[in-house]
Structures are given as C-alpha cells and as structure tokens.
Amino acid sequence: MTRKYELVYVVSPEASDDQVTDLHNQVEAIVQRIGGSIEKTENWGRRRLAYEIGRHKEGTYVLEVLHGTGELMKEIDRRLKVTDLIIRHLVVRVDEEQTVIDRTRTKRSETSRRRRVARGLPPDRAPGEGQREMDDDRDDRFDMAEVDR
C-alpha cells in the first residue's frame, strides 16, 4: 500500500551544492528502485539551526514529498543514518490526517441516515433541506446599536 510521506533532512554546512544534489539523486535512485515516486523536492537553502547539533550551528534543509511503502521508508532511513553529510533527518507520514477525516465523515453520514430512517424520513437529505436562508436585512445578531453606559 503506497502512502504519502514527507522527508526533511539537514545537510552539513560544509557540503557543496553538488553534494546536496548528489544526496537528492541517491534518494531518488532508492525511491525508483523500490517502486515509489517523488512528488516534489524543495531545497530550503542554508538556515540557522534551532540548537547546535554536534559542532554545527547551521545547515542546508531539503524537503522531499514521497509516495511509497513502509519498506521504502525503512531503506531511506537506514541509508540516511549512515550518510556522514546528513546531520538530522525526519520522515513523517502525512496521509493519516486525510484517512481520519474520511473515516469521521463516513461515520457521521451513517449516523445521520440511521436517525433519519428512525424518524420516518428518507435516509438522504433532499437538496436544500436543512439549510437556513439568511436575509441580510433580518440578521440582527451583529446589530451595531450604540449602548449608553
């Protein structure tokens, strides 16, 4: 099952732009070999670190958005751990939020249908049913009348 991941890694400030490009090419080769895909790559450039890591106070940040399996992420994680130029890296699965949203939406619609049938109504709402029409002239919730104190 392919999932969406974000990979962020921080490259040593001593690394040249060619070395950062080579690291990206290595990640791309691993992704293609294992059957994933890279959606986008962003080089955020050299930035100051939030805290000192080893003797490094700054580094080059790179973001990669990947589609692949858990095996792909394990292999990338293993490779990045042994690469000397990489100070830190982080892999985050980002499709989990969408899965939770879809699951919640399905559960709510099933509950709504069940309740409507129990009340003797059709399971699905008709277009426009349950929607309130608001006249701007009749909306007095935000009346800006002056108050005497």
Q: DSSP of 66-129, one letter per residue?
A: EEE-HHHHHHHHHHHHH-TTEEEEEEEE-SHHHHHHHHHHHHHHHHHHHHHHHTTS-SSPPTTT
The whole-model pTM stands at 0.64
Cβ neighbours for 10, distance < 8 A, ≥ 6 positions apart: 49, 53, 59, 60, 61, 62, 86, 87, 88, 89
pLDDT digits (tens, 9 = 90+) for 33-80: 999 999 999 999 999 999 999 899 999 999 999 999 989 999 999 999
Query: pLDDT per residue over 73-99, tens digit each?
Result: 999 999 999 999 999 999 998 887 777
